[in-house]
Structure 1
Amino acid sequence: MVKNNMILKMFLDLIALIIVSFPLLAIKLWASPYERGFFYDDSSLALPYKDQTISEALLAGLGFALMVATILIVEIIRGVKGKSVRDKYLCGSEIPGWVWESYTAIGVFTFGAACQQLIVTVAKYVIGRLRPHFYDLCVPVPTSMEQVERDLGYVQNFTCTGPLANHNTMLDMRLSFPSAHSGFAMYCAIFFIMYIQVKAKWRGSKLMRHVAQFIVFLAAWYVGLSRVTDHMHHWSDVAVGFAAGAAFAIMTFVYIYKPKKYLARDSYETERTSQPEFLPRPVLMRT
């Protein structure tokens, strides 16, 4: 029965991840963003087009690699110290407790990341905000100047004449708000910070853990700033992306990963090992 429950749990976890991931894939493959217009004299859309410093694939690879490596290292160390869960049995094979703990942590992190990216992507396609390099990339020509004058400079119908204007660049041009790069980077950073705060305990140094947390947070901060300096996003896009990523990381860690059980277990272990290992001296009996 225990074996069947574990297999069922893993199967349901996979189904839950597919349920969240499929809409994200479907939106990117088949959806079209809202075709928002622009004001003819909007200087916030007049920045030059630049190649991005950090690509989406690079960020995703680094983010997942960081978390998977961190979780495996921490759980292996906890397993060696006897702080992991008991070994599991699956299909007749014994699975070390640290493997199951790693599976749980990586699964929760991946699920939260998929939810966070789905929310951000839906907002991108519903809002359809133009990127700061819109003029330079599109070189828009209004269909009717008379209509522009009647709408007080607002252009709704136009044609892109820029040399780099094609279907893919024009679709991506409308996906400025919010910043998915900033959201994912901050999600990884906050999840990392909370994870090692709860599960990575090292008595050798008081500050080394916090240095690692600060470095990862600084890296996420740099990702967001690079999106502004690369003219890929407005500052408000990055701010909302940071907020969404941090919020999803906190909710995922607190309400799905549920760190209280690990804090309680570590507290019990500390209390048990801190007790003296010697017996009190016996009281001399009167003769």
Structure 2
Amino acid sequence: MAVDKLIWKIILDFFVLACVSFPLLALVLWGKPYQRGYFVNDTSILLPYKEETISVGAVAGSGFVFMVATILIVEFFRDRQGKGIGEKFLSGAVLPGWLWESYQTIGIFTFGASCQQLTSDLAKYVIGRLRPHFIDVCRPHPITNSSLNRLGYIIDYVCASNDGDRIKEARMSFPSSHASFSMYCAIFFIFYIQVKGKWRGSKLLRHGLQYAVLIAAWFVGLSRVQDHMHHWSDVTVGFLIGAIYACLVFIYVLKPKKYSALPMTWDEPQAPPANNILPSNVLPRAVLAR
């Protein structure tokens, strides 16, 4: 019965992930962003088009590989130190405890990543904010004498460019998915290492790694503004989405309270408790009285 429950748990986990991932795929294949208009004198969308410094594939691939490698390494060494959860049995086979713990953590991380990505991508399609390079990519021509354009806000127009994919992307500036995913990975990593990355060596090593990952996520967001892919407010909201999802998923889904028996800080030698409870200024007199 225990084996059956374990198998059903894995099946249900993949089913939930599929339910979250399918809307993402549907948006990419069939979604059309809202076709927002623009003001003639809007200088925020007049920047030239630039090739992006960090592609979507680079962010997604490096983020997942980094987190998976981190989780596997940490869980393996925790198991070697006797801090694992013990062996599991799957279809009659013995599954190392660190591997099962890694599977659960990676699954939760992936679930949170899918949720935050769906949140940011859905906003892109619903809001349809124009990227800073929209004019350069679209080269719009307003329809002459159109009643929709009479107030100076151009709604009725056609793009002279024939690059449909690039025009579609130019309508999805808000929020920044790069910033959202990179900050999600950074905050999740910081929390995970803080709770489970115990080492009696340098106290600054762990915090140095946490800072390096945070700065890497910060750079990803800054590069999006530098590359004319997003407005600064798009990146700001993307950072917030990623950070909020990382906190919620780590605290309420991964539930680090189950590791509460372990100290949340670096292991420090503790002094043995004192046998007396007398104040220090009274202790000498008490000794003399004996």
Give the TM-score normalised by the residue count of structure 1: 0.90
Report matched runs for 1:1-287 at 5 Å.
1-145=1-145, 147=147, 150-151=150-151, 153-162=152-161, 165-264=162-261, 266-267=262-263
Distance 2:91 2:51 in 1: 50
Distance 1:10 1:239 in 2: 36
Give the TM-score normalised by the residue count of structure 2: 0.90
Distance 1:149 1:87 in 2: 68
Distance 1:126 1:245 in 2: 19
Distance 2:138 2:116 in 1: 30
> CA offset at residue 134 of structure 1?
0.7
Deviation per residue, 1:235-279 (Å, 9 max, x gap): 000000000000000000000000011132x249x99x9899xxx
> CA offset at residue 69 of structure 1?
0.5
Contact 2:148 2:156 in 1 (8 A): no
Contact 2:149 2:155 in 1 (8 A): no
Deviation per residue, 1:138-157 (Å, 9 max, x gap): 11110125546622x10001
Q: 1:227 is aligned with what amino acid?
A: R
Change (3 A) 1:110 1:84: same
Match in the other structure for 1:284 = none
> CA offset at residue 7 of structure 1?
0.4
Deviation per residue, 1:156-177 (Å, 9 max, x gap): 0111124xx4211111111100
Give aligned-pair identity as a percent. 56
Change (3 A) 1:149 1:37: closer
> CA offset at residue 116 of structure 1?
0.4
Q: 1:258 is aligned with what amino acid?
A: K
Distance 2:71 2:255 in 1: 15
Structure 2: 5+ residue runs without aligned partners?
273-290
Distance 1:114 1:201 in 2: 28
Deviation per residue, 1:180-211 (Å, 9 max, x gap): 00000000000000000000011101110000
Deviation per residue, 1:93-113 (Å, 9 max, x gap): 101110011001100000000
Q: 1:183 is aligned with what amino acid?
A: S
Q: 1:206 is aligned with what amino acid?
A: K
Distance 2:136 2:29 in 1: 26
Distance 2:179 2:186 in 1: 10
Match in the other structure for 2:278 = none
Number of matched pairs: 270
Match in the other structure for 1:281 = none
Q: 2:212 is aligned with what amino acid?
A: I
Distance 1:267 1:243 in 2: 29
Deviation per residue, 1:6-46 (Å, 9 max, x gap): 00111110111001000111111101111100001100000
Q: 1:220 is aligned with what amino acid?
A: A
Distance 2:106 2:137 in 1: 39
Change (3 A) 1:267 1:223: closer
